Structure 1
Amino acid sequence: MFLGTHTPRLDDKGRLTLPAKYRDELAGGLMITKGQDHCLYVFPRDEFEQMARKVAEAPFTDERVRAYQRYLFAGTDEQRPDSQGRIPIAAELRRYAGLGKECTVIGAVNRLEIWDSEAWARYQDEHEAGYAQAQQEVLPGVF
């Protein structure tokens, strides 16, 4: 399970060092893809394959499904962390997410999200007020 917030730096070669606590879970390979809100999603390979099967089962006769499949799969890069836990982030993915040197990696249960640190701060500022409302809608009666 991926939880927490970490602030690694992107090096001059476009590599990001994964937080140590996630390295074992991602050692077998991972998939980096464009996420919503201009961040990157990092899935363990097995998790991505499960999701990909579900996406592939959707009716490709639907234009929206084809567009989603193309966008998702064309923008996915398979990686394996090196001995120091670094992964290269493809130039196109860095551009999509607007990644600078300062990055924020957040755990989102079944995936990691990689954000430019300034973009993550803006996102939090813009969505903080809706957090309480969303909690009531997502988990009614729990809190």
Structure 2
Amino acid sequence: MFFLGTHTPKLDEKGRLVLPAKFRDALAEGLVISTGQEYCLTVWPEPVFMAEVKRAQAMPMTHKPTRDYLRVLLPGAETATPDKQGRISIPAHLRAVAGIERDVVVTGVGDRVEIWDPQRWADYSTGAVAAFASIDEAPEA
């Protein structure tokens, strides 16, 4: 499973998102929606989410950033299974965190999918593209 591409669907009146067709098979067995970084939502295939949780839990609990990460990632997370039309419900508390109303940007980011408010995505991607354009690393000897 490898997610890539950018899509611009709309949520329906019940807060449901129709997943892009090319993402559906990889998410059909179950997924987890959680708070993402930069105020987006992250949709993980359930096994990938569980691997991420295990990775984070392997860090010492005396490490404050680890505690913070788990405290943001887990309490608001929701499990879901897409319906026959490929729809998932985005809970209101997660929509509020991401500032999502009706229009969304759905991006494939390798092992996961992100859901963004269009303006937040535009602001973030403008800065990220500029930073990407200026990367100039020296080759390793």
Question: If the length of structure 2 is used for normalisation, what is the TM-score?
Answer: 0.91
Greater Cα shift, 117-126 or 52-61:
117-126
The aligned residue for residue 94 of structure 2 is: 93
Distance (Å, rounded) in 2 between the aligned partners of 1:129 and 1:70: 31
The aligned residue for residue 73 of structure 1 is: 74
Distance (Å, rounded) in 2 between the aligned partners of 1:117 and 1:51: 26
The aligned residue for residue 8 of structure 2 is: 7
- How far the C-alpha of 1:126 sits from its partner, in A, is 2.9
The aligned residue for residue 60 of structure 1 is: 61
The aligned residue for residue 109 of structure 1 is: 110
The aligned residue for residue 18 of structure 2 is: 17
The code of the aligned residue for 1:61 comes to T
Distance (Å, rounded) in 2 between the aligned partners of 1:28 and 1:39: 23
The answer as to 2:133 corresponding to 1:132 is yes
Distance (Å, rounded) in 2 between the aligned partners of 1:62 and 1:118: 34
The aligned residue for residue 38 of structure 1 is: 39
The code of the aligned residue for 2:73 comes to L
Q: Structure 1: which 4+ aligned runs deviate by more than 4 Å?
A: none
Distance (Å, rounded) in 2 between the aligned partners of 1:61 and 1:5: 38
The code of the aligned residue for 2:12 comes to D
Where does structure 2 lack aligned partners over 5 or more consecutive residues? none
Identity of aligned residues (%): 46
Distance (Å, rounded) in 2 between the aligned partners of 1:127 and 1:54: 26
The aligned residue for residue 124 of structure 2 is: 123
The structure with the largest helix share of the pair is: 1
The code of the aligned residue for 1:44 comes to P
Distance (Å, rounded) in 1 between the aligned partners of 2:38 and 2:9: 20
- How far the C-alpha of 1:63 sits from its partner, in A, is 2.9
Where does structure 1 lack aligned partners over 5 or more consecutive residues? none
Deviations 1:76-114 (A, max 9, x none): 111100110000001110000000211010010110000
Distance (Å, rounded) in 2 between the aligned partners of 1:114 and 1:90: 13
- How far the C-alpha of 1:61 sits from its partner, in A, is 2.4
Distance (Å, rounded) in 1 between the aligned partners of 2:63 and 2:130: 36
Deviations 1:13-63 (A, max 9, x none): 011110011111000000111111110011100111111111111111233
Aligned length: 138
Greater Cα shift, 50-59 or 117-126:
117-126
